[in-house]
Amino acid sequence: MTRIEYPQRLLADKGFVLWLIEKDKLAFFKLTHIKASSKFQKRKHNVMVEEDIQEILKEKKIKEETIRRAFKGIPLPNEISRMVKDKPSQMVLFAMVLSNEEPFDTALLTNKTDIKGYKKSKHYEGVKSVTLIEEEESLKTINLFYRRFKLEKGRE
């Protein structure tokens, strides 16, 4: 299996995934390959908060197997949920926790509405290991990572 050193882990929020379901379902296929081919974070390169996955599944807009192939559901750490109550700050802190492991950088994929809350979070100020990426720019990142996968796969 091809192993790629992607420059960032991908953390998607609920708003982004709901947007992606409507905008580009093919991206879930690409995310599956990215997740499976990560050198540093095999099977957990692309992550979501498990509670967000459950909420999306209740809306019945995507099959469970599709979202789980693309994203690993991870519960929000108790330390974060006890310490901080607002969702944007929780997600920024979670992205920081994910950045403690290789590749030491996390892209938080979101939508145009929710990005404002992340930027206002006092926990985001001065953080260099977390990048906020919204909608179309997120698709560009996914496509870039997928092209890298295809290129490496072709060399095998």
Q: How far apart are the first and last CA of the chain?
A: 9
Q: Do residues 31 and 129 lie in contact, with contact meaning Cβ atoms separated by under 8 Å?
A: no
Provide φ and ψ at 75, rounded to 5°.
-60, 145
Residue range 54-74: mean pLDDT, rounded: 97
pLDDT confidence bin for 155, thresholds 50/70/90: confident
**Which SS3 state, helix, strand or coil, does residue 59 take?**
coil
4 versus 155: the higher-pLDDT residue is 4
Domain limits of the chain? 9-151
Tell me: pLDDT of 126 over 90. yes
Helices marked H in the chain: 14-23, 26-37, 50-58, 64-70, 78-83, 87-98, 115-120, 135-155
Residue range 106-121: mean pLDDT, rounded: 97
Tell me: pLDDT of 80 over 70. yes
Residue range 81-96: mean pLDDT, rounded: 97
**Eight-state DSSP code of residue 75:** P
In whole angstroms, give the CA distance from residue 110 to residue 127: 17
Question: For 19-56, what is each residue's pLDDT tens digit?
Answer: 999 999 999 999 999 999 999 998 999 999 999 999 99
